[in-house]
Amino acid sequence: MNGLARKTIIGFVQLFAAMCIALLVPAGTVDYPQAWVYVLIFMGSAALITAYLWKHDPKLLERRVSAGPSAEKEISQKVIQALAAVAFLGILIVPGLDRRFGWSAVPTPVVIVGDALVALGFFIVFLVFRENSFASAAIEVASEQHVISSGPYAVVRHPMYAGALLMLFGTPFALGSWWGLLSTVALAAVIVWRLLDEEQFLSKHLQGYPAYCRKVGSRLIPSVW
C-alpha cells in the first residue's frame, strides 16, 4: 500500500469515526435513523468522488488528503481552518443533542429534502474537481497553476464552496434538527471569511485572477453575491 492510499484510508476511517461519535454520543443512542442515513450519504458521496480522483486525477487526490490547519501556509487560514473544524463538529453535535432532548419535530419530507441537498452539494463539488485539478484543500498556488474559468467556474467564482454550503445547509434538515441551523450559520460565516481571504491571496499570487473576478462577478450565488 503506497503512502497516498494509506493516508486516504486513514482519513476515511477517522472521518467516519468522528462523525459517528459527534452524532451518536450527544444523542445518547444508536437509534437515530436520520443520522445513519446522513452518514451513509455523506461517506458514500465522498467515497465515489475519491474513487474518481484515484482513477482520473491522483495528483488532485493527494492535494485533497493534505487538509486541515497544519496544511495551510497563511496564518489567517490556519485560524479559519481550526474554526471551521469546530463549527463542523457543531453541526453534528447540536442535532445529536436535539435528538436526545426532543427539541425539534422535523417532518419526514423535510428530512428527505435535506438528504437530497447533501447529495446535490457533493455532486457540485464533484463537478468542481472534474473541472479544476488545482482545487487543493489548502490555499496555495502551484507552479503550473492557471485560472479556471470554465464549467461551474463560469457561473460563480467559488463553486466548491457553493456546493459545500448547500450540503451544510441540508445537514440539519437531514438530521431532523431545526436547532442545527444555528451551527450551520456559524460555519457558513467561517466559509465566507475563508473565500474572501482566498480571493486576496489569489489576486496577489495567481496571474489573471483579478481579470477573472471582473468577468465573473458572483462569488457564491449567481446574480446575487
> What does the pLDDT look like over 202-224, one tens digit per residue?
899 889 999 999 999 999 998 88
Domain 3-215 has CATH 3.40.50.300: no
Cα 169 to its chain centre, rounded Å, is: 11
Buried b (16+ CB within 10 A) or exposed e, 119-146: bebbbbbbbbbbbbbbbbebbbbeeebe
* Nearest Cα to Cα of residue 178 among 105, 100, 116: 105
Please give the share of the chain, as a percent, with pLDDT higher than 90: 58
Highest mean pLDDT pick, 13-27, 47-61, 79-93, 128-142: 13-27
Cβ atoms of 85 and 144 within 8 Å: the answer is no
Q: Which of 181, 225, 175, 200 is closest to 87 using CA atoms?
A: 181
- Which three three-digit cell numbers place residue 163? 456546493
Residue 63 pLDDT class (50, 70, 90 cuts): confident
Grade residue 142 by pLDDT with cuts at 50, 70 and 90. confident
Using CA atoms, how far residue 187 sits from 31, 60, 136, 165, 219, in Å, is: 27, 25, 20, 9, 17
Compute the distance between CA of residue 115 and CA of residue 175 in angstroms, rounded to an integer. 9
User: Which pLDDT band, with edges at 50, 70 and 90, does 70 fall under?
Assistant: low
Each residue's pLDDT tens digit, 111-122: 999 999 999 999
Please state the domain extents for the chain. Answer: 3-215
Contact 137, 67 (CB under 8 A): yes
The residue behind cell 446535490 is 120
